[in-house]
């Protein structure tokens, strides 16, 4: 009974369409490819709300964004376009180097940061401003000090 009450309260307090919370996109960043004409890659993570949803698209002003994944194909890592990604209720989704990522085409002058909007099958759209990094800066980015990662 208590559990039911809590679940009902969560449903009532959740925005009708929201997948992750509107401010729920964490650690978003974009790796700029310094080679002319090559796409940038976008990374982030979020934790879904109490309803299952499906990430169906991403967008940015002035560019075109695809959802990509990496798969092993004949012993080689291959990039593949995703039509979408199912997101179970409460699941944490991470887009990161070597795994799922956003592929961002058509950026002419890489900005210092890039607004990214994730679109969900529920109709929810969640935006985040992702700082951009050059590969050198990305490589040199310090890892969190041991013992501080969980804080």
Contact residues toward Cu ion (CB under 5 A) are 68, 79, 103
Q: Which helix (H) or strand (E) holds 2?
A: helix 2-13
Considering beta carbons, is residue 18 or 116 the nearer one to Cu ion? 116
Supply 91's token pair: 């699941």
Query: What distances in angstroms separate CA 90 from CA 8, 52, 53, 86, 128, one per listed residue?
Result: 15, 8, 10, 12, 20
Which residues, at least 6 apart from 22, have a Cβ–Cβ distance to it below 8 Å? 15, 126
Task: In angstroms, give the least distance from the CB of 55 to Cu ion.
Answer: 15
Task: In angstroms, give the least distance from the CB of 79 to Cu ion.
Answer: 4
The per-residue DSSP string of 14-44 comes to S-SS-SS-TT--EEEEEE---STTPPEEEEE
Task: In angstroms, give the least distance from the CB of 41 to Cu ion.
Answer: 6
Considering beta carbons, is residue 124 or 130 the nearer one to Cu ion? 130
Considering beta carbons, is residue 52 or 103 the nearer one to Cu ion? 103
Residue with nearest beta carbon to Cu ion: 68
Considering beta carbons, is residue 51 or 68 the nearer one to Cu ion? 68
Task: In angstroms, give the least distance from the CB of 78 to Cu ion.
Answer: 10
């Amino acid at each position: 009974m208590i559990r039911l009450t809590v679940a009902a309260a969560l449903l009532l307090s959740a925005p009708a369409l929201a997948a992750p919370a509107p401010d729920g996109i964490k650690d978003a960043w974009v790796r700029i490819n310094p080679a002319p004409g090559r796409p940038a890659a976008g990374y982030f993570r979020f934790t879904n709300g109490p309803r299952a949803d499906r990430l169906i698209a991403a967008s940015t002003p002035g560019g075109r964004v695809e959802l990509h994944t990496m798969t092993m194909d004949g012993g080689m890592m291959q990039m593949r376009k995703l039509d979408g990604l199912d997101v179970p209720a409460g699941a944490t989704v991470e887009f990161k180097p070597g795994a799922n990522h956003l592929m961002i085409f058509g950026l002419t002058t890489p900005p210092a940061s890039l607004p990214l909007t994730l679109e969900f099958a529920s109709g929810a759209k969640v935006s985040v401003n992702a700082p951009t990094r050059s590969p050198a800066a990305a490589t040199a980015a310090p890892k969190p000090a041991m013992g501080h990662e969980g804080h």
